Amino acid sequence: NSINTEQTKIQYHMTFSPKFIGTGWLIKQHIHRFIKLALVKLIHFSETNPQLINQAIAKDPSTNVNPKI
């Protein structure tokens, strides 16, 4: 699955094994909805607060990205 913005494409993949047989579809649906909502909120936050994202990237030496958004 993926979510596109003008400059960034976020791709994600998930796998899991349900504890109870026959419940996987329901769990998958809820996890997918949760992840999509979280990504949409992250995109909105990064578009409205780019300076905070740049500060977080600058403080984390493990990021391997261009710090300018």
C-alpha distances in angstroms, 34 versus 8, 38, 47, 50, 59? 20, 6, 20, 23, 28
The token pair that represents 11 in the structure block: 């791709």
Report pLDDT for 19: 87
pLDDT tens digits, one per residue of 7-63: 667 777 778 888 899 999 998 899 889 988 888 888 888 778 778 777 777 776 665
User: What's the whole-model pTM score?
Assistant: 0.56
Report pLDDT for 8: 66
